[in-house]
Amino acid sequence: MEGQQGRRRVVVLGGGYAGVRAARDLARAGAESEVEIELISKSAWHVDLTLMYEVATAYLTSESVASSEIIAASAAVPLAEIFAKTSVKLRISGAERILLKENLIVLSDESTVSYDVLIVALGARLATHGLPGVATNAFSIKELSSALELRHHIVRQFYAAKNLVGAARRQSLTFMVVGAGSAGVEMAAELACQVRHQCSRHRIDPQEISIQLVEAGREILPGISPVLQRVAANRLRKLAVVVRLNERVSAIEATAVVFESGETIPTNTAVWTAGLSPHELLVQAGFPVRSWGVVCEPTLQVQGLATVFVAGDAANLQEMKPPLKANVLVAYTQGTLVARNVLRLLRNQRLLTYQRPKEVTVITTGGRTAVLQVGQLKLSGFLPWFLRRLITLRYWLWYLPFIAALRFWFASNRLHGAND
């Protein structure tokens, strides 16, 4: 099939890191005479998902009906602003089905979009591991809407606690974070910082607060240097976060977390950050799915589907050992490669293979501190925290005009720095 004036239609499914990068790179390649580019996203916003722990713990000096809008604007930019001066066509709609044999995407309003080449960048979903109550009772920071929901829930716990006593009060002031990867550590540390302000506002003794970080494995932040693991653990201890290693959760109830050991911790707040699972749309479509993503070739083409590419968390490059981490750098670089390979495919050129990027790991630990690992370089404290902020600025400078990127970055830092 061909679009206007014989151009091939390239559809990008997903407005996250990989999808936006692929669409922008295609638009910047000067190939308007060759391709039509359409990006389909259920949200009109491009969200910096690395800031969802900040969204969930954002502290405002005064609460209002506009709180959600204020906080959301600190972590998301309209897709229309990113693609304002490009040839990319935006379609804000949820995708219901992918019909691979027909080269069609069925949208939530039952309309269809055809494609010559499809780029799948839908990300992954949070893994529940089949445990009872995780999907219904646990909170998540995987998406903007869920992070905002958690944030308002946390605020309500402090308002409610003022009128409670005994076990009910302890339950309201107990916060459980399950999973001690980067998301869990950042969430627990920033929550501990926010709690100080909430206690001051509501005149609650900080000693009444219990924040517990639960990990089924034997270490926090698996995959980084043991030295930095210890630094992060010490930082959490300083923030009064209780780290529970080698403990498996068996169920999440509405008012408790249940462990395999039989122990039950009464709590109204369980935050689940443990692992990824494949997007249900990709499973339903019949993609070759394993673990959290679609099995793809080193060229990022889906196995057996030459005109379908996959990037970001939705991709599973099985040949990469050790497995690639699900992070912004991987999504970003894969989006770039996919854009180049789409054009090379349409031009009958040899496709490029994905190369593992040099890993840069920066994990914040609350209060303007972080740990950083780049190869053999290991840093902790204020400097890596500041570098993390600069990396975020560089990201937005790539998508937005200079002044707009700076304005967004300063506003985001001002709000998220209220806890520090």
pLDDT 10s digits, 182-223: 999 999 999 999 999 999 999 999 999 999 999 999 999 998
Identify the band that residue 321 occupies on the pLDDT scale cut at 50, 70 and 90.
Answer: confident
Domains 4-42+93-126+276-357 and 134-272 share a fold: yes
Per-residue pLDDT tens digits for 254-267: 999 999 999 999 99
Specify the pLDDT at position 343.
Answer: 96
The domain made up of 4-42+93-126+276-357 has a fold known as FAD/NAD(P)-binding domain (3.50.50)
d(CA 131, CA 128): 6
Specify the pLDDT at position 3.
Answer: 52
- Tokens 């970080």 -> residue: 213
Other beta carbons within 10 Å of 310: 31
Per-residue pLDDT tens digits for 27-43: 998 888 899 999 999 99
d(CA 101, CA 99): 6
Confirm if 253 and 133 have CB atoms less than 8 A apart.
Answer: yes
Task: Residues 134-272: name the CATH superfamily.
Answer: FAD/NAD(P)-binding domain (3.50.50.60)
Nearest to 363 by CA among 187, 179, 145: 187
d(CA 106, CA 112): 5
Specify the pLDDT at position 4.
Answer: 54
Domain ranges of the chain: 4-42+93-126+276-357, 134-272
Confirm if 191 and 211 have CB atoms less than 8 A apart.
Answer: yes
- pTM for this one? 0.93
Identify the band that residue 320 occupies on the pLDDT scale cut at 50, 70 and 90.
Answer: confident
Specify the pLDDT at position 188.
Answer: 98
